[in-house]
Amino acid sequence: MAVEMTRAGATIVLRLSNGPVNALSVGNGFVEELGAKVGEAASDPACRAIVIAGAGRMFCGGADIGDFDGDPEQVDRLRHLIATVEACAKPVIMAIHGMALGGGLELAMAGHYRVAQAGSRLGLPEVTLGLLPGAGGTQRLPRLIGAGAALDMMLSGKPVTAERALSAGLVDQLVDGDVVEAALEVARNVPPLRRSGTLPVPADLAGAVASRRAKLRAGLSQAPARIVDCVAALSGDLAAGLALEAALFGELLRSEASRGLRHAFFGERTVARIPGLAPDVRPRDVGHVGVVGGGLMGTGIALALLNAGLPVTVAELRPEALAKAEATICKTIQRDVEKGRIGQDVADARIAAFTAATELEALAHADLVIEAVFEDMGVKKQVFSALDAIARPDAILASNTSTLDLDAIAALVADPSRVVGLHFFSPANIMRLLEVVRGRETAPDVLATAMALGKRIGKVGVVSGVCDGFIGNRMFEEYLRQVWFMLEEGALPQQIDAAMERWGMAMGPCRTMDLAGQDIGWAIRKRRMAEQPDRPYSGVIDRICELGRFGQKTGKGIYAYPDGRTAETDPEITRLIEDYSAETGLERRAFSDEEIVGRCLLALVNEGARIVEEGIAYRPVDVDMIYIHGYGFGRERGGPMFQADIMGLSTVLDRLRALAAGRNGWAWTPAPLIERLAAKGGRFGDLNIQDRNSI
């Protein structure tokens, strides 16, 4: 039984037990069963009160998000359950431990009394899915804690502690011990019924609504604005408020933003599963990590590991670089203390766990060694040859390479099965993506260990096979190819960046490359132009690099940076671009934002499809998660492959064929996977739930 029903004297205890988070699932009958048990207890003449508690580690993690893609009426059944609880003629006491989130908190608010265990957390995170609390949360929470506090909770989506919930009035009692026993004690006294839906409209309603509405920012998701609309509708007529809430929830549920955010939510969980990995494969224990290289990337990687509580040794052969790395690590950790993120004791422990060394021999006892030296195959081969002789035979050897052939690197090691790629994104202590590269010989437990490490240090790990650029940078090459082509055809950098940022990218491509360093892209282009002469790039970006304009670090790139940070349009670059077009005989033309976004997006989609078909990515959703977490692709947009499904693959194919008939059409040859899926009316999303062999 998903709802355990027991009796304690005159009180009936209903304990939720539906998976690890006690989700309020409609599809599997859990909500219906809970409603039936509440009705049974309410009609039992020997029962004087009801306690609802959660089994396992929490009270309730909320509604089952999987239900949102089914019949919309399923949400109505959850609303009916909550109304049944609130209308119960016998006191219903909620015993909250662990977490009460989303629909779980809405259920708790329908109770007549709430007891919470110290340390538990309560929240309504629906806004992070492009939704609003759709089971009474917008109408009950403001009545309990005031409109301003309620709006802040719902608009941020962040949970509050039980201690804060007590002071706000969201819970009635806080206990250190057994929360069910405490709730039973309340039940024995048969407290009066206090239905949150009948409480008066809060006095701060008008001011709170006006101030929060004024702070709303434009964006694809309308959830924040609709939350404010629901709270503004608070009145003595609860039914009217609930009806508006339900209608607006349904509107948001169908929106692109919510669909994209839900895709990202499930995607982060999907990419953690490695297809074909035997169930008995277990990650190795990692207790000490070595990092080779004390540059920007090595320093960031060390910080990410230290912040997760791992002892780290950084080996850097240049004393001045090592001293700089050590100073940066200590300064960054101390800054977290100053900002209130950690206590001084935690900071001291992290600094104590850091060791600086000027020789590779200091890494001899590490369980895992991560190479983070310059992106040059010769340099990396030297490091791995040395590590093979120094590191323990069972130590995992990882490379942070972003484009190079991991199999060629692994060939320098006697046992290539212990080599894996760990491609961090800069700054490595902040960016959430970790591209885990499986080499031809990488052992299953080594791959599992890399993914487990990613999770431990707070990263979204995504597995990639070996190819030039792996998943993310291979696609980014095609994205940039079109950006540079559009510059020579008539667009300007500021227009391209503005169009992409308005659409949902965190940063436009020209600003991104100025930040990363135009010299890095230039070096990669030189290598690839030699290796792939049949895939030419525009020469306009090379003209900029030939002037020594490498971006922020040189004060000038595509943009000028007078203060070292802020991008300003530079007339010199505008003239250079226009002169290049004239030299190459191109008549410049106007570009719309729609064309800019379309070309950039289709370039990503087409290359992403090739990557999936080649098995470099397990699933299309792997591509989406890489772009959301590593390349600033708007989470509300769901990722490039998700966007292709929204457009429809037949439409995508038609647009690719049209572009293939034009200038530089070779770059637009449709990926065979797109052609096959479009022919049968398929979607990339179908491949996220099927075995790859069915592609």
Report the CATH number that the domain containing residue 25 is assigned in CATH. Answer: 3.90.226.10
* 538 belongs to a structural domain: yes
Q: Is residue 572 predicted with pLDDT exceeding 70?
A: yes
* 325 belongs to a structural domain: yes
How many Å separate Cα 234 from the centre of its chain?
33
Kindly report the average pLDDT of the chain as a whole number. 95
* 293 and 171, same domain (yes or no): no
The reported pLDDT for the residue numbered 691 is: 44
* 33 and 175, same domain (yes or no): yes
Q: Is residue 161 predicted with pLDDT exceeding 70?
A: yes
State pLDDT tens for residues 115-152.
999 999 999 999 999 999 999 999 999 999 999 999 99
The reported pLDDT for the residue numbered 695 is: 34
* 429 and 514, same domain (yes or no): no
Task: Identify the CATH number of the domain in which residue 334 sits.
Answer: 3.40.50.720
* 28 and 127, same domain (yes or no): yes
Alpha helices of 12-72 — where are they, by DSSP H? 30-43
* 648 belongs to a structural domain: yes
* 235 and 295, same domain (yes or no): no
What phi and psi values does residue 174 have, to the nearest 5 degrees? -120, 135
Q: How far apart are CA 627 and CA 637, in angstroms?
A: 11
- Bridge partners of 369, per DSSP, are 290, 397
Q: Is residue 514 predicted with pLDDT exceeding 90?
A: yes
* 484 belongs to a structural domain: yes
Q: Is residue 692 predicted with pLDDT exceeding 60?
A: no
Residue with tokens 């990218």: 505
Residue with tokens 């966007």: 643
Q: Is residue 5 predicted with pLDDT exceeding 60?
A: yes
* 128 and 249, same domain (yes or no): yes
- Edge to edge, the sheet with strand 173-175 lists 3-8, 11-16, 49-54, 92-96, 113-117, 173-175
State pLDDT tens for residues 222-256.
999 999 999 999 999 999 999 999 999 999 999 99
State pLDDT tens for residues 61-74.
999 988 888 766 78
Contact 328, 301 (CB under 8 A): no
* 243 and 325, same domain (yes or no): no
Q: Tell me the C-alpha to C-alpha distance, in Å, between residue 376 and each of 401, 409, 424.
A: 9, 11, 16
Residue after which a domain boundary falls, among 209, 235, 254: 254
* 274 belongs to a structural domain: no
* 409 and 517, same domain (yes or no): no
The reported pLDDT for the residue numbered 693 is: 36
Residue after which a domain boundary falls, among 254, 274, 306: 254
Q: Is residue 694 predicted with pLDDT exceeding 60?
A: no
Q: How far apart are CA 98 and CA 123, in angstroms?
A: 12
* 490 and 454, same domain (yes or no): no
* 259 belongs to a structural domain: no
Residue 112 tokens, joined:
């007549």
Element (H, E) at 658: helix 649-660
The reported pLDDT for the residue numbered 1 is: 63
- Mean pLDDT for 315-325 is 96
Contact 660, 596 (CB under 8 A): no
State pLDDT tens for residues 343-362.
999 999 999 999 999 999 99
* 331 belongs to a structural domain: yes
pTM of structure: 0.93
* 526 and 435, same domain (yes or no): no
**With the C-alpha atoms ordered 303, 304, 308, 312, is the resulting torsion angle positive or negative?**
negative
Q: How far apart are CA 612 and CA 534, in angstroms?
A: 23
The reported pLDDT for the residue numbered 595 is: 98
Q: Which of 362, 374, 380, 390 is nearest to 289 (CA)?
A: 362
The three-state secondary structure class of 27 is coil
Task: Identify the CATH number of the domain in which residue 584 sits.
Answer: 1.10.1040.50
Q: How far apart are CA 376 and CA 367, in angstroms?
A: 25
- Active centre residues (catalytic): 106, 126
* 279 belongs to a structural domain: no
Rounded percentage of the chain residues whose pLDDT exceeds 90: 92
The reported pLDDT for the residue numbered 690 is: 54
Question: What is the count of structural domains for the chain?
Answer: 3
- Mean pLDDT for 284-306 is 97
Helix axes 640-647, 620-630, angle to 10 degrees: 120
Q: How far apart are CA 549 and CA 572, in angstroms?
A: 11
Residue after which a domain boundary falls, among 227, 254, 281: 254
Residue with tokens 């340099």: 379
The three-state secondary structure class of 429 is coil
The reported pLDDT for the residue numbered 520 is: 86
Contact 447, 441 (CB under 8 A): no
* 185 and 293, same domain (yes or no): no
Other CB atoms within a 10 A radius of the CB of residue 320 amount to: 9
Which residues have CB under 8 Å from 7's CB, separation 6+? 13, 47
* 106 and 65, same domain (yes or no): yes
Other CB atoms within a 10 A radius of the CB of residue 326 amount to: 19
Query: Which domain, by its residues, includes 351?
Result: 289-466
3-state per-residue secondary structure call for 387-419:
HHHHCCCCCEEEECCCCCCHHHHHCCCCCHHHE
How many Å separate Cα 329 from the centre of its chain?
25
